[in-house]
Amino acid sequence: MPTLRGMGVLRIGVFGSRARGAGRVDSDVDVLVEFEAHRDLLDLVAVKQHLESVLGLPVDVTTPSGLRDSDRPAILRDLRYAA
């Protein structure tokens, strides 16, 4: 099984309802991923599929550059990085 580091992930964190402890059984997992340089959309999709396989839950993945300015403050407030 691939590791996140092997997939080019430098940092990964959870935000949204699950990070706030308000997630329901049917809630997806919102994830912010920071990649090493020269990674692309295919890498993002691979991380999404990997996380969905491991967690058994739907996962929404975004990167810092993919955040809308209007959403950024709330996301950064909720964000919990993995150790």
Q: Which residues belong to the active site?
A: 28, 30
Amino acid, res. 59: V
Please identify which residue in the block is written with the tokens 């990649």: 35
Q: From CA 48, how far away is CA 60, in angstroms rounded?
A: 7
Do 33 and 44 meet the contact criterion of CB atoms below 8 Å apart? Answer: yes
